[in-house]
Structure 1
Amino acid sequence: MLDVTLIRHGEVEPQWKSICYGAMDVPLSPAGQAAGQTLAAAIGQQSRADFVFHSGLSRTASLAKMIAVHFPSARVIEDDRLRERDYGDWQGATWDRVYHSDPENFNGLVDDPDNYRPPGGETTTEMQSRVVQWFGDLGRIDHATKVIAVSHSGPIAALAGYCHNLHASEWQPWMLKNLEAIQLLSDRSAAADTWLPPRCRRVF
């Protein structure tokens, strides 16, 4: 069985909360660091890991390294397919400014996921495709039976949406808060020697 836990990174500094920071490298706040240490210790007591992934952005890499301390034999791997959505030219602006720059099309993020693209950014479907590809590739890694990945709210919701066959407009319940997580479980079909569709649930 492939057992994958995806955790959203900890909180960032308060001044970023009204900003569209997307794929920008915004670090954890001191409170986010402290809460991450507490969570990492709890995970270390209750679980195991063969691999610990992160997106390469410091807010995920920091937590991944905290977790990996408790699993000395686990490999820590950076994979940018786990990064938050690239919002292109919107990044660094307030969400209020972003909305008022294109109010008629803003909802295209969820209403038209295949086609609506923030200027210089990626579509919702492109973001989902890369994180689904990442998950699919896990089944090709030898001994990758227990995986922990630290990612972002968008890619995690996109992967949950894939598991439950949801349209992007239905992902909102899977948009995690800081340090919340989902678990994906997938069994291998002995007959076809392929991985069966994953089951997905929230775990904390």
Structure 2
Amino acid sequence: MNDCPMSEQADVVIIRHGEVEPKWKTICYGAMDVPLSVAGLAASQTLANQLAARIRPAAIYHSDLQRTRTLATMLTEACTGRVPIIAEARLRERNYGQWQGRSWDEAYASDSDNFIGLIEAPDTYRPPGGETTSEMQQRIVQWYDECLPQHRSTGPVITISHSGPIAALAGHLRGLHARDWQPWTISNLESLHIHGNHIQRVNPSAAT
């Protein structure tokens, strides 16, 4: 999982969106549609240009939230020729229900006895009004299983998603329990390059 050169043989390159506006950094925003920061926009444009110079994607997928759509749009504009861009709701961040819009400290205080259920009881625990960890994982795995065969012979797919679903997909591919997903929780604009059973973690600085 060390930084390494960008894999041009990947079946799927899945990227976490850029940095969001600073006021959201301590907030549980989950599936809320929050915007990127000025720095996040600039870094996304840089990465889009670098990716377009290295990879000719067969398609670009993103969640239906603007913080992923921004990079997807930048990337398709940077690519030579027309690349399909597809919004996919199954790629969106976890729905944290009533916790969304509150600080993480408030969310923890409201349900501290059960908070560990996010990772220890992935099939049964859900934040009030939200989804379980397994439900989040099931939807991105369903998307992956449908998407991969469509593009297996056409070139790599670039996907822009969110921290939770990306870790959940890696956990599925590695056969890991939710408590062991942490090493696959990537930072803004980091990516996982997936080729068969191999997963390569790439820092955006390695895209040059």
TM-score (norm 2): 0.89
Aligned residues: 193
- Partners of 2:143 and 2:129 lie apart in 1 by 23
- Partners of 1:85 and 1:200 lie apart in 2 by 22
**For 2:50, what is the secondary structure of its paired residue?**
helix
Q: 1:153 aligns with which of 146, 156, 163?
A: 163
Aligned to 1:63: 71
Q: Is the 8 A contact 1:50 1:73 kept in 2?
A: no
Q: 2:31 aligns with which of 3, 12, 23?
A: 23
Q: 2:43 aligns with which of 35, 54, 59?
A: 35
**For 2:138, what is the secondary structure of its paired residue?**
helix
Q: 1:79 aligns with which of 84, 88, 95?
A: 88
Aligned to 1:202: 201
Check 1:16–1:115 CA distance in 2 against 1; reply closer, same or farther (3 A cut).
Answer: same
Q: Which amino acid aligns with 1:199?
A: H
Q: Is the 8 A contact 1:5 1:183 kept in 2?
A: yes
Counterparts in 2 of 1:38-187, with a 5 A limit? 38-71=46-79, 72-141=81-150, 143-186=153-196
**For 2:179, what is the secondary structure of its paired residue?**
helix
Aligned to 1:191: none
Q: Is the 8 A contact 1:55 1:151 kept in 2?
A: yes
Structure 2's unaligned 5+ residue stretches are: 1-8, 204-208
Per-residue CA deviation, residues 167-197 of structure 1 (Å, 9 max, x unaligned), is 10011111111000001113xxxxxxxxxxx
Q: Is the 8 A contact 1:114 1:123 kept in 2?
A: yes
- Partners of 1:182 and 1:21 lie apart in 2 by 23
Q: Which has the bigger relative contact order, CA under 8 A and spacing at least 6? A: 2
1:2 offset after TM fit, Å?
6.6
More helix by share: 2
Q: Which amino acid aligns with 1:146?
A: P
Q: Is the 8 A contact 1:138 1:144 kept in 2?
A: no
1:65 offset after TM fit, Å?
0.5
- Partners of 1:27 and 1:13 lie apart in 2 by 6
1:44 offset after TM fit, Å?
1.0
Q: Is the 8 A contact 2:12 2:159 kept in 1?
A: yes
- Partners of 1:144 and 1:115 lie apart in 2 by 39
1:144 offset after TM fit, Å?
4.5
- Partners of 2:158 and 2:82 lie apart in 1 by 13
TM-score (norm 1): 0.91
Per-residue CA deviation, residues 74-113 of structure 1 (Å, 9 max, x unaligned), is 1000000000000011100000000010111001000100
- Partners of 1:168 and 1:121 lie apart in 2 by 17
